[in-house]
């Protein structure tokens, strides 16, 4: 009987303790669930806030992009308007410069200033000994951009006695390329279609000339040499040492060129530095002997190139960085060009500065190399003033 009562009491105590532990577990789980719910609620609140901030940021970004797009369109419109105004100003400047040219640099010991000045017979005879051409450049008639080929600096020129065109890529090499015509060069994708010619010694600068199947170029070593190279049989025909101690460039804006050679129907000419100015030498085209020399008084400073037409030197100037090339100094070997005759010619602004300008007498055009572009300038010529004046009375 006592054992039964003890078992009943023990069972009741066990049940009481089990219920107590069960209730504690339930309370613990309930508390954890409440904590999780609070954290989930906090996460939802933060997520909603982040979504709201992201939406606001997207709207701000969209508004900013729209504003930037409008400002970009306005800026582009302003730039186009500015470009139009600059073009108009350049055209007006060209007109003003043409109508009101500044006094050019012309060296003339006995220069003619007025048309009624009597030209001495001695001057006329002296001129015909040097040149039988009586033309002077009056303006640029037209321009044609042929193509872009090779380095920023180089030379392309035509043999005045044939249709052949020659390309010198760069400012120092021993290889040039021969094309049968300007058309063949224009159709070529590069120099691959040209005939490759390798000369004995490297040419330097951009002062080369080709005339009647011969190449004239300057080779720099311990002495400055003019090389006459026979393009037909591929050999050196002659060479001569230039009596030059000054190794300064003839044109300040083209420091690679110490001497600029020009070959035409009047012979071989050499433009070279002498202090701060440019000198001119007349050379025998066969023997390469120097026949006569002149001080042109044209400054080397800001000069980029020059060309010779009928015994008259036209020096082209520019700025650094390049702007518009212009003929600003003219020198006639017989002092037969007056200050009023000397043209002030502006070249159209395109790429950079001319590294070379080579004149073709038959075509009356310049072969120009401008920042790797091959350009043709057609020139308009007129008679020199003294050539159209009546002869002096005996």
Closest CA to 140 of 370, 364, 371, 369: 364
What's the 3-state SS for the chain? CHHHHHHHHHHHHHHHHHHHHHHHHHHHHHHHHHHHHHHHHHHHHHHHHHHHHHHHHHHHHHHHHHHHHHHHHHHHHHHHHHHHHHHHHHHHHHHHHHHCCCCCEEECCCCCCCCCCCCCHHHHHHHHHHCCCCEEEEEEEEEEEEEECCCCCEEEEECCCCCCEEEEECCEEEEEEEECCHHHHHHCCCCCCCEEEEEEEEEECCCCEEECCEEEEEEECCCEEEEEEECCCCEEEEEEECCCCCCCCCCCCCCCCCCEEEEECCEEEEEEEECCEEEEEEECCCCCCEEEEEEEEEECCCEEEEEEECCEEEEEECCCCCCCCEEEEEEECCCCCCCCCCCCEECCCCCCCEEEEEEECCCCEEEEEECCEEEEEEEEEEECHHHHCCCCCC
| C-alpha distances in Å from residue 264, one per residue of 190, 215, 283 | 28, 12, 11
Instruction: Write down the pLDDT at residue 118.
Output: 36
* 352/152 Cα distance (integer angstroms): 9
* 244/281 Cα distance (integer angstroms): 12
Q: For the domain made up of 135-383, give the CATH fold.
A: Lipocalin (2.40.128)
Residue ranges covered by each domain of the chain: 1-95, 135-383
Q: CA Rg, the chain, in Å? A: 42
Q: Count CA within 13 A, CB hemisphere, residue 94.
A: 16
pLDDT tens track, the chain, 394 positions: 656 666 665 566 556 666 667 777 788 888 888 888 888 988 988 888 888 889 889 898 998 898 988 888 888 888 887 877 776 666 666 555 544 544 444 443 333 333 333 333 434 444 444 556 788 898 898 999 999 988 899 999 999 889 999 999 999 999 999 999 999 999 888 887 889 999 989 999 999 999 999 999 998 877 889 999 999 999 999 999 988 877 899 999 999 999 999 987 788 999 999 989 999 999 998 899 999 999 999 999 999 999 999 889 999 999 887 788 999 999 999 887 765 667 788 898 777 789 999 999 989 999 999 999 999 999 999 887 655 555 455 4
Is the distance from CB of 181 to CB of 165 less than 8 angstroms? yes
Is the distance from CB of 172 to CB of 203 less than 8 angstroms? yes
Could you count the other beta carbons within 10 Å of the beta carbon of residue 95? Answer: 10
Evaluate if pTM is beyond 0.85.
Answer: no
Instruction: Name, in order, each residue with C-beta under 8 angstroms of 132's C-beta and a sequence gap of 6 or more.
Output: 266
Burial readout 333-372 (b: 16 or more C-beta within 10 A, e: otherwise): bbbbbbeebbbbbbbeeeebbbbbbbbbbeebbbbbbbbb
The pair of structure tokens assigned to 300 is: 């080397």
The pair of structure tokens assigned to 336 is: 């037969």
Burial readout 64-77 (b: 16 or more C-beta within 10 A, e: otherwise): eeeeeeeeeeeeee
CA trace torsion 232, 238, 242, 248 (10° rounding): 30
Closest CA to 280 of 344, 318, 330: 330
Instruction: Write down the pLDDT at residue 93.
Output: 62
* 248/256 Cα distance (integer angstroms): 9
Instruction: Write down the pLDDT at residue 2.
Output: 56
Instruction: Write down the pLDDT at residue 172.
Output: 93
Instruction: Write down the pLDDT at residue 3.
Output: 60
Strand order in the sheet with 260-264: 260-264, 267-274, 277-283, 290-299
* 160/90 Cα distance (integer angstroms): 35
The pair of structure tokens assigned to 318 is: 């520019």
Instruction: Write down the pLDDT at residue 205.
Output: 94
Instruction: Write down the pLDDT at residue 92.
Output: 64
């Amino acid at each position: 009987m006592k054992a039964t009562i003890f078992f009943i009491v023990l069972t009741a105590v066990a049940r009481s303790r089990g219920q107590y532990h069960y209730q504690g577990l339930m309370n613990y789980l309930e508390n954890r669930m409440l904590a999780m719910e609070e954290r989930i609620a906090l996460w939802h609140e933060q997520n909603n806030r982040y979504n709201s901030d992201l939406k606001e940021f997207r709207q701000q970004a969209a508004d900013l992009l729209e504003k930037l797009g409008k400002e970009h369109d306005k800026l582009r419109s302003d730039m186009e308007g500015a470009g139009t105004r600059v073009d108009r100003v350049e055209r007006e400047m060209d007109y003003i410069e043409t109508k009101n040219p500044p006094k050019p640099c012309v060296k003339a010991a006995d220069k003619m200033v007025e048309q009624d000045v009597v030209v001495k017979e001695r001057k006329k005879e002296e001129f015909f000994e040097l040149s039988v051409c009586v033309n002077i450049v009056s303006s640029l008639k037209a321009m044609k951009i042929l193509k872009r080929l090779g380095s920023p600096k180089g030379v392309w020129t035509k043999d005045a006695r044939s249709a052949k065109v020659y390309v010198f890529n760069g400012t120092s090499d021993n290889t040039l390329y021969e094309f049968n015509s300007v058309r063949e060069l224009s159709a070529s994708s590069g120099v691959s279609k040209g005939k490759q010619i390798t000369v004995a010694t490297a040419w330097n600068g951009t002062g080369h000339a080709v005339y009647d199947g011969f190449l004239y170029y300057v080779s720099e070593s311990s002495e400055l040499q003019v090389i006459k190279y026979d393009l037909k049989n591929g050999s050196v025909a002659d060479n001569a040492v230039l009596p030059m101690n000054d190794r300064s460039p003839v044109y300040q804006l083209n420091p690679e060129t110490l001497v600029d050679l020009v070959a035409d129907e009047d012979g071989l000419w050499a433009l070279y530095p002498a202090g701060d100015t440019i000198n001119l030498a007349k050379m025998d085209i066969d023997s390469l002997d120097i026949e006569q020399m002149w001080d042109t008084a044209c400054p080397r400073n800001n000069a980029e190139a020059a060309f010779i037409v009928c015994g008259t030197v036209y020096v082209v100037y520019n700025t650094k960085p390049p702007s518009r090339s212009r003929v600003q100094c003219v020198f006639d070997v017989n002092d037969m060009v007056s200050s009023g005759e000397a043209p002030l010619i502006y070249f159209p602004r395109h790429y950079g500065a001319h590294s070379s300008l080579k004149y073709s007498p038959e075509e009356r055009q310049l072969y120009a190399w401008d920042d790797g572009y091959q350009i043709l300038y057609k020139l308009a010529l007129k008679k020199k003033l003294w050539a159209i004046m009546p002869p002096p009375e005996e």
